[in-house]
């Protein structure tokens, strides 16, 4: 483990920040091409553990995560005049990319001899942590912002048997609270500040290369607490260092207009300032003080990437477009990546003909209320005897 600021190194241990300067920690591998053979890995089952030599965990708790589909989106590509793929992380066991982090994180909890896991969550993290903790026979405590998480996610945390604590405040407040309780030595904190989480999530990058057989020009994804963009960038850098790829993609992070501290920093070239009252319909990215902002901003600068924000209306339009043009139903936060793509094409930031992978981070069924409310007027109520007539006129 190495501090990204003062570069202090630590043996593997359950700490979350640098003990010298409070900086973020990262797992560093001394990589050589002899350690990992992509040809050998490709003969294994297509899931995250195909890359096991590059993932620092031994006592593995798995639900067969990763190996998610990369869809070529011909209809949308034609409409937007780019070459678009969607990496659908909603196809993971609990319906979001968080499972990649939790298979590694919960495995480490067991290696470190912990018996309770915890996290603060806008929903998906708690759903995933609760599932992997159940499978690993660990107790799990999740802290959620009261009334501000999607119903499907809450249902998951409850059925997997987590202790669900709803606090009166937003995600940022919940995160402060779990930091305090994780000082208890039986408890292991599994928010994305935990560097082992990112070791699982970086495999999104490996898989994109594995499926395309080359690096796309750009990756676009929603940014909340900023762990995933940092993890995926790390994955591409590692494949580059191993000589597996010869090009890295531009990392492009999308936040919601009401919660965009990273976009503000990037666009105004100013100091990082947290957003005190984050607000957006995309509850998964309703985060005002992303813990990994520094890693994310590094990823954006190092990759010559970009940061942009989108309105709730743009998010909901993109959600509908992706569903109706490509048959892919994603939750609002995930649709932010498509909304961001459209905005950046219109602004001329993205060149026509670029090859782009949008990461859709969570399944649409997680948050059915938004859709049920928006589209309820599309239901056609008729008497049985009128159905034939109605169809004739369609
Ligand atoms: C569906 C979805 N998308 C995006 C994010 C943001 O990911 P990160 O916090 O790693 O930036 C989250 C986090 O909760 C999420 O659940
Ligand atoms: Zn440090």
348 backbone φψ class: left, alpha, beta (φ>0; ψ -120 to 50):
left
In 3D space, the residue among 233, 199, 197, 68 whose CA is nearest the CA of residue 121 turns out to be 197
CB-based contact 1:17 (threshold 8 Å) = no
Q: Which of the listed residues 172, 220, 361 should we mutate to test ligand 1's pocket, taking the one with most ligand atoms within 8 A of CB? A: 361
**Together in a domain, 185 and 201:** no
**Together in a domain, 205 and 342:** yes
**Together in a domain, 234 and 333:** yes
Q: How far is the CA of 114 from the centre of ligand 2 (A)?
A: 25
Token pair 């802290």 is found at: 143
In a domain, 281, yes or no: yes
Distance between CA atoms of residues 244 and 199, nearest Å: 18
- Does 208 have pLDDT greater than 90? yes
**Mean pLDDT of the 286-302 span:** 97
pTM of the model: 0.97
CB-based contact 145:173 (threshold 8 Å) = yes
Structural domain containing residue 135: 98-193
147-184 residue pLDDT tens: 888 889 999 999 999 999 999 998 989 999 999 999 99
Specify the pLDDT at position 393: 83
Residue 270's pLDDT band (cuts 50, 70, 90): confident
- Which residues are close to ligand 2, an ion, with C-beta < 5 A? 3, 5-6, 8, 18, 20-21, 23
Q: How far is the CA of 4 from the centre of ligand 1 (A)?
A: 22
Q: How far is the CA of 194 from the centre of ligand 2 (A)?
A: 15
What CATH number should be reported for the domain holding residue 125? 3.40.50.1100
**Together in a domain, 103 and 88:** no
């Amino acid at each position: 483990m190495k501090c990204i600021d003062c570069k202090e190194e630590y043996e593997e241990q359950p700490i979350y920040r640098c003990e010298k300067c409070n900086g973020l920690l990262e797992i560093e591998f001394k990589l050589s091409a002899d350690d990992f053979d992509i040809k050998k890995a490709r003969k294994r089952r297509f899931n995250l553990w195909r890359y096991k030599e590059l993932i620092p965990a031994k006592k593995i708790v798995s639900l067969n995560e990763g190996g998610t589909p990369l869809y070529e989106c011909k209809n949308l590509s034609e409409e937007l005049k780019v070459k678009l793929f969607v990496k659908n992380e909603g196809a993971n066991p609990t319906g979001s990319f968080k499972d990649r982090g939790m298979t590694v994180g919960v495995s480490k909890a067991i290696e470190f001899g912990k018996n309770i896991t915890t996290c603060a969550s806008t929903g998906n993290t708690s759903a995933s942590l609760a599932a992997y903790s159940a499978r690993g026979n660990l107790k799990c405590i999740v802290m959620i912002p009261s009334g501000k998480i999607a119903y499907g996610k809450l249902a998951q945390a409850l059925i997997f048997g987590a202790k669900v604590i709803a606090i009166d405040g937003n995600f940022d407040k919940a995160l402060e609270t779990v930091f305090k309780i994780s000082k208890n030595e039986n408890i292991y904190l599994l928010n994305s500040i935990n560097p082992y989480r990112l070791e699982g999530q970086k495999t999104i990058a490996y898989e994109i290369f594995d499926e395309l057989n080359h690096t796309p020009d750009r990756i676009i994804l929603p940014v909340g607490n900023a762990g995933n963009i940092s993890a995926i960038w790390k994955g591409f850098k590692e494949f580059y260092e191993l000589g597996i790829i010869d090009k890295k993609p531009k990392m492009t992070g999308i936040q919601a207009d009401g919660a965009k501290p990273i976009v503000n920093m990037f666009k105004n070239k100013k100091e990082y300032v947290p957003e005190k009252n984050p607000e957006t319909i995309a509850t998964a990215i309703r985060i005002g003080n992303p813990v990994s902002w520094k890693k994310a901003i590094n990823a954006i600068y190092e990759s010559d990437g970009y940061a942009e924000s989108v309105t709730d209306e743009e998010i909901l339009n993109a959600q509908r477009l992706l569903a109706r043009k490509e048959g892919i139903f994603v939750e609002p936060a995930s649709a932010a990546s498509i909304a961001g793509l459209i905005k950046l094409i219109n602004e001329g930031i993205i060149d026509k003909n670029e090859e782009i992978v949008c990461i859709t981070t969570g399944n649409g069924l997680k948050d059915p209320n938004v859709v049920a409310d928006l589209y309820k007027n599309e239901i056609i109520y008729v008497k049985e005897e009128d159905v034939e007539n109605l169809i004739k006129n369609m």
